[in-house]
Structure 1
Amino acid sequence: MIEALFMVNNPNMALKDMAQRPIVHAGNPENHVLDLKKSQNVAILLRALNMTIDEVCEALMEGNSDTLGTELLESLLKMAPTEEEERKLKEFNDESPFKLGPAEKFLTAVVDIPFAFKRVDALLYIANFDSEIEYLKGSFETLQAACEELRNSRMFRKLLEAVLKTGNRMNIGTNRGDAHAFKLNTLLKLVDVKGTDGKTTLLHFVVQEIIRAEGSRLSSANQNLKAEKTQQSDFQDDVEYRKLGLQVISGLSGELTNVKKAAAMDSDVLSIDVAKLATGISKIREVIKLNEGIAPKDSSLNFSESMNEFLKKAEEEIVRIQAQYRDALSMVKELTGYFHGNSAQEEAHPFRIFTVVRDFLSILDRACKEAAKVNERTIYSLTRPLPNPPIFLGLSVRQHYSSSDDETPS
């Protein structure tokens, strides 16, 4: 193939090469029952195997998935012959004038095993079972941890409170100025509401207010304030407030790590994986039933024993996994109801609450970095005597912000 694709197209060179190449007489011709590509793929696999044909067949007869491994079992399934190919393979015998190629010889040995490729499919299910269980358990634990993080985050609730109060203040005097709650999707729109300077957003304003409030709270808790303060001490306190407050709100993203992991999950894929694990156990029951129809041999008895032992363990594990799945979904639904009020509207996208929070955290991280730069400039300017010190620019009070059309208790 390499010669045909990449050799220099020079007729004189080709003639010279043919003249120098010795003539090899064909020995016993090989018969390729499989199509050429399939035969080549099987031959490549055989060369990569660290097992003999007899060892592969013995593992299939005994039902030993550990000996074969996931990669080999997947490869065996891909090379399964069609009914026509299997019929032709079984017609060949040692007296045939044609010699079978290595790929055909291997598959001939495999198809002689009763329901060989049903065994392969069942053994592949067994080989993947433990890793699938661990993956699903980890996913459910992440969902549960994400729910607990959002419910228990003081800073997240503080931020929601600040957004609600700010939105009500901006819309005072309108039918939107007395909202009791708002949809979490509103968090993603905070950067769209800009102040009179055209740069400062509503999110910037909320972040700065929380920095000030949290910094003051932490500073008061950690030290006894003096009754009388000089201008210098007031300035030092202000610097300390800003640092402490910024640390608190900047830490929210790190506090909600499982929320970000949950946002990367696909609820449909997770549901399909649980269903596939449950329905896949039927493959084990099928091969056990087929094996019962074989005349008792040591290998068939060993196969039945191996399959029955796995079946008992797997059925119990699947029941536990299905229960954990229901519990995790119930927690997500309850959390969605807590923040959105009507979780039924979100049933088509049950994990949407996590994606909204994750996207908001990304926006919040950028706002915190910008706030840090503003604070640095403000601190620097406060060390110099200025007639009019810079202040944080206000927002247009009459911008309609609150999404009270969708109001629901949170």
Structure 2
Amino acid sequence: MLTKVKMPLPDMMAAALAMDESILDADQVENLIKFCPTKDEMELLKNYTGDKELLGKCEQFFLELMKVPRVESKLRVFLFKIQFISQVTDFKKSLNTVNSACEEVRHSLKLKEILKKILYLGNTLNQGTARGSAVGFKLDSLLKLTDTRATNNKMTLMHYLCKVLASKSPSLLDFHVDLVSLEAASKIQLKSLAEEMQAIIKGLEKVKKELEASETDGPVSEIFRKTLKEFVGVAEAEVGSVKDLYSVAGRNADALALYFGEDPARCPFEQVTVTLLNFVRLFRKAHEENLKQAELERKKVQKEAEMENAKGVNLTKKGLK
């Protein structure tokens, strides 16, 4: 790693303590952390009384690191600072995706109408039975529409639903355009978001601890303290904003399950979004298959008509003879 360093070691350490991202990037700082000397290595160098100029580049590098109190902690703080903006930006993007998906689903009038028609269809099919006057249905029942088939085994209940909608309510067929965030949201795990939130909070706590500890370091950490103090001020405000957004996302995720009459503990956000996404895909597939079938039947009728016309022409020709 050191053979790739194109600057004097003291300059590299000065850049690290100034947390200068224009000189050192995340990969370089990670390498510096990786090659920090162990306690045993530091003891050996402390006890070395010979000419330090005779030491190898690695040992000289260790000596530079040892001039800085808690050097590994400071380098980890620098790495956190480098990665902070992109980490928070990505995290906010995930939270906004959750919020958008929840809002889109709950405000989609077209989806609501389709669900009403599915309930009506189910009650009609179950008329005269105990299930014939249901006021609702479980969310996972949406995926069972493809399991119920007609006697010819060709058309499913999903095909029939699409056919009815195409005939009586064609404006509902493109309900999926209301749910633009659904696919992205279905890939998000709330557990991962919770872990990410904790990582950001704990990372900032470590930064603040190092800032406090560096107050007694003396001149060697002067620039480090000044730069870090400015960063902490900005980071605290940003983390506060992210915490608020995270709380909103959690409430929206629970509200989404409740919207469908489900218990968020038994039917969490991940299950709701995946079920809805699969329903959208199955619905669109059934509609496309209906269109293809209708086109095949149209061509068949047209061909039969052409054959009938051809027969009529031949009979006419024979009559003329």
TM-score, normalisation: structure 2: 0.87
Greater share of helix:
2
Q: Which of 87, 92, 97 lines up with 1:142 in the alignment?
A: 97
Q: Which of 150, 154, 160 lines up with 1:205 in the alignment?
A: 160
2:8 paired residue number: 52
2:75 paired residue number: 120
Q: Which of 32, 44, 54 lines up with 1:88 in the alignment?
A: 44
1:366 paired residue number: 285
Instruction: Tell me the CA shift for residue 56 of structure 1.
Output: 1.5
Check if 1:106 corresponds to 2:61: yes
Instruction: Tell me the CA shift for residue 90 of structure 1.
Output: 3.2
C-alpha distance in structure 1 between counterparts of 2:46 and 2:19, whole Å: 23
2:239 paired residue number: 318
Q: Verify the 8 A CA contact 2:182 2:277 in the aligned structure 1.
A: yes
1:274 paired residue number: 197
Check if 1:378 corresponds to 2:301: no
Mean Cα deviation higher: 335-344 or 194-203: 335-344
Alpha-carbon RMSD across the aligned residues, in angstroms, is: 2.2
Check if 1:153 corresponds to 2:108: yes
1:309 paired residue number: 230
1:168 paired residue number: 123
CA shift in 2, pair 1:343/1:89, >3 Å = same
Check if 1:193 corresponds to 2:153: no
C-alpha distance in structure 2 between counterparts of 1:364 and 1:90, whole Å: 72
Q: Verify the 8 A CA contact 2:105 2:178 in the aligned structure 1.
A: no
Aligned length: 305
Mean Cα deviation higher: 369-378 or 60-69: 60-69
Instruction: Tell me the CA shift for residue 66 of structure 1.
Output: 4.5
Deviations 1:99-121 (A, max 9, x none): 54333332332222221111001
2:20 paired residue number: 64
Mean Cα deviation higher: 143-152 or 101-110: 101-110
Q: How does 1:235-384 map to 2 (within 5 A)?
A: 249=173, 251-295=174-218, 297=219, 299-346=220-267, 349-383=268-302
Mean Cα deviation higher: 356-365 or 325-334: 356-365
Percent same amino acid at aligned positions?
25
C-alpha distance in structure 2 between counterparts of 1:80 and 1:352, whole Å: 45
CA shift in 2, pair 1:253/1:189, >3 Å = same
CA shift in 2, pair 1:50/1:137, >3 Å = farther
Deviations 1:352-408 (A, max 9, x none): 21111112222223212212211212333454667xxxxxxxxxxxxxxxxxxxxxx
Q: Verify the 8 A CA contact 1:80 1:117 in the aligned structure 2.
A: yes
C-alpha distance in structure 2 between counterparts of 1:140 and 1:374, whole Å: 42
C-alpha distance in structure 2 between counterparts of 1:180 and 1:76, whole Å: 64
C-alpha distance in structure 2 between counterparts of 1:88 and 1:377, whole Å: 84
CA shift in 2, pair 1:166/1:51, >3 Å = farther
Which runs of 5 or more structure 1 residues have no equivalent in the other structure? 1-44, 216-244, 387-410
Deviations 1:184-203 (A, max 9, x none): 11111111111101121111
2:311 paired residue number: none
Deviations 1:145-171 (A, max 9, x none): 111211222321222122111111111
The amino acid of 1:113's aligned partner reads V
Q: Any idea what SS the aligned residue of 1:323 has?
A: helix
CA shift in 2, pair 1:172/1:309, >3 Å = same
Q: Verify the 8 A CA contact 1:66 1:127 in the aligned structure 2.
A: no
CA shift in 2, pair 1:83/1:256, >3 Å = same
C-alpha distance in structure 1 between counterparts of 2:222 and 2:211, whole Å: 10
CA shift in 2, pair 1:92/1:363, >3 Å = farther
Deviations 1:173-223 (A, max 9, x none): 1111111111111111111111101121111111111111123xxxxxxxx
Instruction: Tell me the CA shift for residue 280 of structure 1.
Output: 1.0
Q: Verify the 8 A CA contact 1:63 1:119 in the aligned structure 2.
A: no
CA shift in 2, pair 1:110/1:146, >3 Å = same
CA shift in 2, pair 1:95/1:344, >3 Å = closer
Instruction: Tell me the CA shift for residue 264 of structure 1.
Output: 0.4
TM-score, normalisation: structure 1: 0.69
Instruction: Tell me the CA shift for residue 60 of structure 1.
Output: 2.6
C-alpha distance in structure 1 between counterparts of 2:279 and 2:36, whole Å: 50
